[in-house]
Amino acid sequence: MTHLPAARRRRALLTGTAAGLALALTACGGSSSPSSSSASPTDVAEDTTVDTLYGDVTVPAEPQRVIALAESALDVALSVGVTPVGTTASRGGDAPPGYLGGAAADIPVVATVAEPNLEAVLQAEPDLILAAAGLEQAQYDALAAIAPTVVPETPERGDWQAPLHAYAEALGADDELTGKLDAVADRAAALAGTGVLRGSAAVVRWAANGPVLMNATTMPGSLLQAAGAEPLQAAVDLGTRPHSDPLSLENLDQVDADRLFLAAFGAQGGAALEAARSQPAFSRLTAVQGGTATEVDGSVWSSASGPIAADLVMDDVEAAVG
């Protein structure tokens, strides 16, 4: 599993401190006694410069009021011990992602997946905003006028970790994030060593309008491959698309893998999956007949990509083969 090097983080001392102090002293009558300026150079905080979609962004050292406007940003923040003062509602919901549990439950929602509530963001008085990868220019400009805003570049398909490192750099915690992702990689490698996942595996998200095959390069798909499974060719052929078009029950043979992870998305998705279980086309699937079809949390397996979500995916995989 490839990580962006921690060396990408660049530190720059706050500038203008001495000049600002001199001006303040001049305004007070020009006093420059030793007792009026006792701070040493080591007391000067350091800013962090992060490479983003909109160029280098300077963020404060040890930000105190962080807003996370992407599920993955919230996942990263919580994983490194930062509780944001505002976040986005989960995809299709009106509260923070449920898989993050109590740690996220009480964080105020100041955005939907589609757009931020600028008034709510402003009222939260953030000193750092972590936005979704690829955020459009107009929304970025509005957020950047409130606080330094980090927008990761849209990663190449399969490089699901890149945005996570941008968030962690902004929080001054990239080494900690790297350690957590390495631990996930170690779990996958250990499973691959046993050979228990040999054969094909696929992730199928079940929503109200039917099932879709998830791209093999999503976070769960990448972890399954790292753990020893082979992706379905149809999932590889999706290219840059995150998933296939909805499949009819008659076309379920397109997701006929040795092992399936069925990611029911929301209550309606769960109901649609339950209804499909009684259909002959579902019963004929190799994984269903072999007892290797596992139902998993759709919010984790089909839309999340942070280190907490990755750990949960590995929990599910290990339980499925245990």
Q: What is the average pLDDT across 290-300?
A: 95
Q: pLDDT digits over 188-241, tens only? A: 999 999 999 999 999 999 988 889 999 999 999 999 999 999 999 999 999 989
Fold of 180-321: Rossmann fold (3.40.50)
252 three-state secondary structure: helix
Dihedral angle sign, alpha carbons of residues 76, 92, 159, 118: negative
Q: What is the rounded CA–CA span in Å between residue 75 and residue 130?
A: 11
What is the dihedral angle through the alpha carbons of 70, 75, 76, 78, rounded to the nearest 10 degrees?
120
6-172: CATH architecture? 3-Layer(aba) Sandwich (3.40)
Could you tell me if 209 and 90 are in contact, meaning their C-beta atoms sit under 8 angstroms apart? no
Q: What is the rounded CA–CA span in Å between residue 1 and residue 182?
A: 8
pTM: 0.85
Res 137: pLDDT:
96
Q: pLDDT digits over 243-253, tens only? A: 999 999 888 99
Closest-CA residue to 206 (of 236, 249, 157) = 249
Res 266: pLDDT:
81
Res 11: pLDDT:
35
Helix locations, 69-173, DSSP H: 71-79, 102-105, 118-123, 137-144, 162-170
Give the residue range(s) of CATH 3.40.50.1980 domains in the chain: 6-172, 180-321
Q: pLDDT digits over 62-121, tens only? A: 999 999 999 999 999 999 999 999 999 998 788 999 999 999 999 999 999 889 999 999
φ/ψ bin of 166: left (φ > 0), alpha (ψ from -120 to 50), beta (otherwise): alpha
